[in-house]
Structure 1
Amino acid sequence: MWQDLMKHVKIYGFLLKINAMRQLEYRLNIALNIMVEMGYLLVKLIYAYVIHDTGVHIAGLSPDSIYLFIGTYMLMTVFFVSMLQFNIVVFDQQIRDGDFDLILTKPISSQFMATLKHVDTWISIPNVIVGIGLIAYGWQASDVPVSVGNILGFMAYVALGIVTMYGLFVLPLLLAFKFKNIAALQSFYWAMWDFNNLPHKIHFRPVQLIGAVVFPLFLITNWSPLFILDQLSMIEMMWGVAAPIMLFCLTRLMWKKALRHYESATS
């Protein structure tokens, strides 16, 4: 299992390199995309400043801590846009056109290739820089101790958030094996994603429970800053570890089940 994991990590590193080199063929397009992204970032920074400047405490959290949540949201958006977005957009098209058949011939996990093959690298640079900057500022302004435990805990919940994000947004894609066209899901993805922009505790209690337990969307961006702010109970910390693992295992199980009923578009 460990060898198989390392093989996929090496292949993903190779895919990162290939995608970055391919995008460099159109450098003007990269520059324009980065400029557009910087425009979005400016809007997000103004949004963060306005919320902070109100001085309102949200669910017992200080205004300074809002930068932690918005910075984490921006950082996780990098993974969502760079790792998943394009793969999600073309997933059902691959099945309709028969391109998915070619993926099945590869000596590697079909799930890995179908959901992680395309990586948008350059456009994510501004978000990475600004996201890390906001997290660092929010960390310092909130007087959170810079300890090994806090840093490792934050990074661990970020990693677990990526796993949660992958499971939540890949599972609905399996409907494409049956219905072939699931383009309407795109609006659902972005609508759900925007719920992560602020602390989940601003929502009504039922929404918090649904977003943390039934459809654990809030685990993606909320658990890492809540951990270093000492706002997680022991049960919540345990759920933050268990839910991503369970979700990933469910995704693998359902993928294998969907493949057994897959009918080639070229047959």
Structure 2
Amino acid sequence: MINLLKRYLVLIFMFARNSLAGQLEYRVNFIMGVLVEAGFLVVKLTYVVLIYKTGVNINGMSPDYMLVFIGTYTIMTGIYMSFYTNFWNLTNYIREGTLDLYLTKPVSGLFLVTFRYIDFATPFPAITAGFIMLGIGWHRCGFSVNFTNIGIFTGCLTVGTVLTYSLFLIPRLLGFWTMSTTGIAQISDAIWDFNNMPMKIYNKIIQEIGCFIFPIFLITNVPGLIIGGCISKTLLIWYFMAPVITLSICVIMWRAGIKRYSSASS
């Protein structure tokens, strides 16, 4: 099991290195991608300025504490965008029958399809800005900067990445059963923006749905709740269960889809 994990980590490193080399061959496009995404990010961050100007506490959360959540959301957005292109291409592979090329490789087809290309230009501004906001909010809230808190937050980013990957891959896997998943995928992507503010600004019903039915709030809210020491045991347990469940659903859907997949040669 450990050797298998090492093998996949090596493959991800190779994919990342090759993707970066390929993107840097067209440096103007790479730089433009960074600048365009930075422009979008500046527009999106106008509400952060608004929060600080008003200085309003929402459900007991100060603007500084909310900045921790917003920073986490921005970081996770960058991580999500790094492999988003693979999700977008998956439907085309299924529809055109070009998935054959990936299925013949001596490695998991699902892994290969979803990690083959890693974007660096688009995520860079978001991840950078996210850590800056997180650092400012962390400092102003008075949270300790120690190995324990840093380790906890790093672990939360890992759990959140797995949950993001599996949760938003599910709509794309429906491509095995439908002609197009564009509508479903667009809805799921739009739901992502619900995370740009702490879940406590929403009513209880929306919070329950976003935590336990479509657990998107877990991705960016739990790290701040853990560091702030205000998370319930139930939510903490579910936080670690949700990625396992959603990832298992992805594997089941992938295997079922492969059985009914019609290749380009069939």
Report the counterpart of residue 59 of structure 1 in structure 2.
59
Shift in Å at residue 130 of structure 1?
Answer: 1.3
Answer whether contact 2:76 2:127 (CA < 8 A) is retained.
Answer: no
Which residue in 1 is equivalent to 2:73? 73
Taking the TM superposition and a 5 Å limit, the aligned residue runs for 1:118-197 are 118-197=117-196
Partner of 1:112: 111
User: 2:122 is paired with a residue of what secondary structure?
Assistant: helix
Work out the CA distance in 2 between the residues paired with 1:167 and 1:108.
Answer: 19
Once residues 52 and 240 of structure 2 are traced to their aligned partners in structure 1, the CA distance between those partners, rounded to angstroms, is: 30
1:171 is paired with a residue whose SS is helix
Structure 2 gaps, min length 5: none
Alpha-carbon distance, 1:186 to partner: 3.5
* Cα offsets for 1:179-201 (capped at 9, x unmatched): 23212233213211101101111
1 CA distance for matches of 2:204 and 2:146?
Answer: 32
Structure 1 match to 2:263 = 264
The CA distance in 1 between the partners of 2:237 and 2:79, in whole Å, is 24
Distance 1:40 1:69 in 2: 19
Structure 1 Cα separation of the partners of residues 177 and 239 of structure 2: 32
For the 8 Å contact 2:159–2:243, the answer to whether it is kept is: yes
Using structure 1 for the length normalisation, give the TM-score.
0.95
SS in 2 for 1:221: helix
| 1:148 Cα deviation after fit | 2.6
Stretch of structure 1 that moved more, 112-121 or 252-261 = 252-261
Aligned residues: 266
| C-alpha distance after superposition, 1:155-183 (max 9, x if no partner) | 11111111111111111222111223212
Distance 1:180-1:102 versus aligned 2 partners, 3 A rule: farther
Equivalent residues of 1:96, 1:265 under 8 A apart: no
Q: Kindly tell me: are residues 254 and 186 of structure 1, through their superposed partners in 2, closer, same or farther at Cα, counting changes over 3 Å? A: closer
Matched, 1:237 2:254: no
- The aligned runs of 1:69-108 (5 Å cut-off) are 69-83=69-83, 85-108=84-107
| Structure 1: 5+ residue stretches without partners | none
SS at structure 2 position matched to 1:244? helix
Q: TM-score, normalising length from structure 2? A: 0.95
The DSSP-based 3-state class of the residue aligned with 1:222 is helix
Counterpart position of 2:20: 20
Counterpart code for 1:148:
F
The equivalent residue for 1:40 is 40
1:179 counterpart SS class? coil
Percent of aligned positions that are identical:
36
Matched with 1:224 is 223
CA distance in 2: counterparts of 1:117 and 1:65, whole angstroms: 37
The residue type equivalent to 1:115 in the other structure is T
Q: Distance in 2 between matches of 1:163 and 1:79?
A: 11
Moved over 3 A (4+): none
Query: d(CA) in 1 for partners of 2:52 and 2:237?
Result: 31
Q: Is the 8 A contact 2:68 2:134 kept in 1?
A: yes
Q: Deviations over 1:57-84 (max 9, x none)?
A: 122111111211111111001111111x
SS at match of 1:165: helix
**C-alpha separation in 2, matches of 1:147 and 1:59:** 28
* Cα offsets for 1:33-60 (capped at 9, x unmatched): 1111221222233321211221111221
8 Å CA contact retained: 2:171, 2:188? no
Output the amino acid matched with 1:88: F
